[in-house]
Structure 1
């Protein structure tokens, strides 16, 4: 049965009502250097808010007739949507939340592509410039609120989780909401939606009227993880590395629920940063949590981390099983410690300037067959570089699983090959096999998972 579509003319909602002629022309430009294809892809993902899919390529292909056009108006601009998904509308009117997200897409794509061109001396390989880049995008999106005390909990976890795991993530969110804490996730379904949904109830009970449900994503992933309906602030960062930096710069603590390779990538990114000597005394509460049935899952994660990064890395997080109240209390206590530290150091509450991030975690990694095969997965390097290279390996698998470009590469050239020190590679292979066995690679009900990777013997 063919999905119903609608043609509509949409007025701005929330942000970016005025564009320059240059910006309009870039958005209309369908060449490789133009922004049309990127804008269309992200706009289509937003129009599928609440629809659970994890195949960006399939989403694009199923809406091949969709188009979005800019219509200049005397008082600003409108968007003309051709063959837009009908579920984004009610009685012919676009849902307000989707309309807000649609113009957030426009805002972030325009702004993130204008900074490198307009900023004098901007260097894409300079750590300070890259952090300022992240700061300016978040500030332009009004994510940062001066005067607001630390209250933002970043929640990571899988998009493909069981109903019981989802319910647990929702109860954790409920307990966080009862303590007036806000939620930031990757904006998609599963463990990204559950905490937000639970927090809305907790906030309602406590009459919290300024609760925040921030979704931070990037163009390569938004089609596979369209925003869930709870997100009330959407931000699209230019790439996965800036998305991850945005999480740790604006968040005040992290909760990790069960997940697959994307969650493993996030864990390795975070631990690699926290292991930097300059961050040794910086308070940043991190909790791994799940139901009793997830105890073995976190034992597996903990064992992998200790083998790859050592016991020092394991000291950076606490594992709490089947106790949402304790998880929320731990985060609330952590927020107070963050507030006290930031005040003493005269650092901003809204952006963690003091956090030291090594450039290896900031520079974009392009997942392709050559780069994946060349990853330095060996122990003859500092521990933070081991974390960085393992993070890249997981990032490549994510791309091959759900990102349009990665899926296409795997279809054309076969799985990405991963090689390295057996003491790192064998545990990696075992964990990936468990992710597959536990259906953490694809959404339930989707086609059978075909691995986007292949572990090969011998060092790279």
Structure 2
């Protein structure tokens, strides 16, 4: 099937216009070297905004002739696009938000490679070094807002959700926006787009003109979850672990909407961190919420957490069904506690330095067939370590479901095998089967073939 494409040359709107010659030269070298493929794939994902697609491999195969080149000029840089998706343009002119996102790709991919990966200043084998790198990437992206009271709500949830769940996420976003709260999501469609859309209306009613709609992504997932057009701050972290850390260090509270394996991964990540003894007294509002039709979904999640991580984990969140106003009120009250806590301890409002994140949550996990098969999924370990390993299992399933590298690995070597205690495997199998039955693994209308096999 042929897809409409367009050739264009575009200029940045803002910071990249004032790069030095040396910086432009570095950018030119990097984009033509080994980084080019990552740069190209992320750029293509941004240009694919609004498309009903959640398959990284399919996207790359749909536009095989797409090219992007950095053009060096005296004043800075331009980007030359060839065979780019036509939907990113209106009457031959690129949509402004997509233009911003495209140059955010340039900024973050190049910065991470030049300034983080090859810089001895960042000790990426240490926990503090990784957190420092996350901070610098966010600061370079200019998304940290000092001298501002805490008000950033992270909203997690699936890209493949029902219309009723999507509309509910918009209602929650609207209530949050009416209270002057900003939104941060994984920047894709579904439960990532809904809260932002609702908040824009809430902010408009309150005449808030500087609302932040922060999207945090990483190169592996961006093709399956192209940034939605409401995102006005986009930042691309190098991997899923740094992306998750960026969420919990910049956000002041989290609302979780219904979702699939990726949402389960996020829930296990935040609970695993909050279960660390050093975080025992730290306020961190965490709310699971959905419409009345999602009640059974959250009961399944709650039962899974109870049976694996125990009552201590359950005490760290509350479940609110079909009450957007209550979600916003509880979040606002929780963020007030966060502000008081940070003020008392002298911690920054814009980056949670005090949050203890165990290295097991920071080390990049490569979900190969061998690594998935050898995960430690048994109860004879600390709860936060079990959460970390369960998080990795769900992360691997996300990779096999939607990421280009994972889809190709499944095609070549077959299912991921996931082994563990029979009790945990039974719980996991039941939960995943419910995600499949409720069409939470892939967008509606697409047949889902599991990329995994649970083995007790």
SS at match of 1:16: helix
Residue aligning to 1:188: 188
Residue aligning to 1:26: 30
What CA distance in whole angstroms lies between the structure 1 residues aligned with 2:412 and 2:364? 23
TM value normalised by structure 2: 0.98
What CA distance in whole angstroms lies between the structure 2 residues aligned with 1:14 and 1:121? 28
SS at match of 1:296: helix
What CA distance in whole angstroms lies between the structure 2 residues aligned with 1:155 and 1:433? 24
Residue aligning to 1:82: 82
What CA distance in whole angstroms lies between the structure 2 residues aligned with 1:177 and 1:130? 32
Residue aligning to 1:290: 290
What CA distance in whole angstroms lies between the structure 1 residues aligned with 2:322 and 2:104? 36
- Whether 1:421 and 2:424 are equivalent positions in the alignment is no
TM value normalised by structure 1: 0.97
What CA distance in whole angstroms lies between the structure 2 residues aligned with 1:392 and 1:362? 11
1:20 to partner: Cα distance: 3.6
SS at match of 2:259: coil
Root mean square deviation, CA, Å: 0.9
How many residue pairs are counted as aligned between the two chains? Answer: 452
1:332-388 CA-to-partner distances (Å, cap 9, x unmatched) read: 111111111111111000000000000000000001100000000001111111000
SS at match of 1:146: coil
1:121 to partner: Cα distance: 4.7
Q: Is the 8 A contact 1:40 1:67 kept in 2?
A: yes
Q: Is the 8 A contact 1:16 1:106 kept in 2?
A: no
Unaligned 5+ segments in structure 1 are: none
Alignment of 1:26-175 (within 5 A): 26-29=30-33, 34-117=34-117, 119-175=119-175
SS at match of 1:248: helix
Alignment of 1:248-263 (within 5 A): 248-263=248-263
What CA distance in whole angstroms lies between the structure 2 residues aligned with 1:312 and 1:284? 14
What CA distance in whole angstroms lies between the structure 1 residues aligned with 2:331 and 2:16? 35
SS at match of 2:16: coil
Moved more, 35-44 or 68-77: 68-77
SS at match of 1:378: coil
1:117 to partner: Cα distance: 4.7
1:22 to partner: Cα distance: 3.0
Unaligned 5+ segments in structure 2 are: none
Residue aligning to 2:410: 410
1:276 to partner: Cα distance: 0.6
- Whether 1:308 and 2:308 are equivalent positions in the alignment is yes
What CA distance in whole angstroms lies between the structure 2 residues aligned with 1:51 and 1:415? 28
